[in-house]
Structure 1
Amino acid sequence: MYTTYILYSKSKNRFYVGHSADLKDRLKRHNTGRSKSTKSGFPWTVVYTKEFTTKSEAYQYEMYVKKQKSSEFIRTLINSTE
């Protein structure tokens, strides 16, 4: 199982979109500064997840979300799952 996820940094007021087969470990890497792109924004919290059966599907969905280039789009996704 693969997960496309959205993280939020309150300190930076920023979202980060990614995908992983092990979300727990990936979040730990984001929050310990081991991920270059999120090093300065921790603590990061998971605000959205969507599961897929293949890595390719998870990656494609990640790219779809990123191509929107819109925090409003991301907020709509997050609110749709509450």
Structure 2
Amino acid sequence: MFTVYVLFSRQYHKTYTGFTSDLMARLKSHNELGTKDWAIRYRPWEVLITEEYDNKKHAMQREKFLKSGVGREFIHSLIRKKYQD
């Protein structure tokens, strides 16, 4: 099973999109363990979206879509809805 995820840093208004077979370990890596990744500069991260896929190919396709212009707009619309003041 693979999870496509989008993380959001409220402090820096940044998103991070990826996929993994172990979401909890990956989230811990982004928030605590990583030392050389782009994502460590924008800690703390919270989970905004998770989607489960049975195979790696479909997870990679969804990740690619979410990183596209249309996908990023979808993500930003969710952020606006969730965090509107």
TM norm structure 1: 0.83
Q: Does 1:55 align with 2:42?
A: no
How many matched pairs?
Answer: 79
The structure where helix makes up a greater share of residues is 2
Question: Judging changes above 3 Å, is the alpha-carbon distance between structure 1 residues 61 and 71 closer, same or farther for their aligned structure 2 residues?
Answer: closer
What is the alpha-carbon root mean square deviation over aligned residues? 2.0
Higher Cα radius of gyration = 2
Q: SS where residue 39 of structure 1 aligns?
A: helix
Q: Give me the TM-score of the superposition, normalised by structure 2.
A: 0.80
Contact 2:2–2:21 (Cα < 8 Å) also in 1: yes
Matched with 1:29 is 29
Q: Which amino acid in the other structure matches residue 41 of structure 2? A: S
Structure 1 stretches of at least 4 aligned residues deviating more than 4 Å after TM superposition? none
Kindly, what percent of the aligned residue pairs are identical? Answer: 37
Instruction: Work out the CA distance in 1 between the residues paired with 2:71 and 2:12.
Output: 16
Give the Cα–Cα distance (whole angstroms) in 2 for the partners of residues 26 and 68 of structure 1.
Answer: 25
Structural mapping, 1:1-82, within 5 Å: 1-32=1-32, 34=34, 36-68=37-69, 71-76=72-77
Q: Deviations over 1:14-70 (max 9, x none)?
A: 111000000000000000251602011111000101110011111110011101266
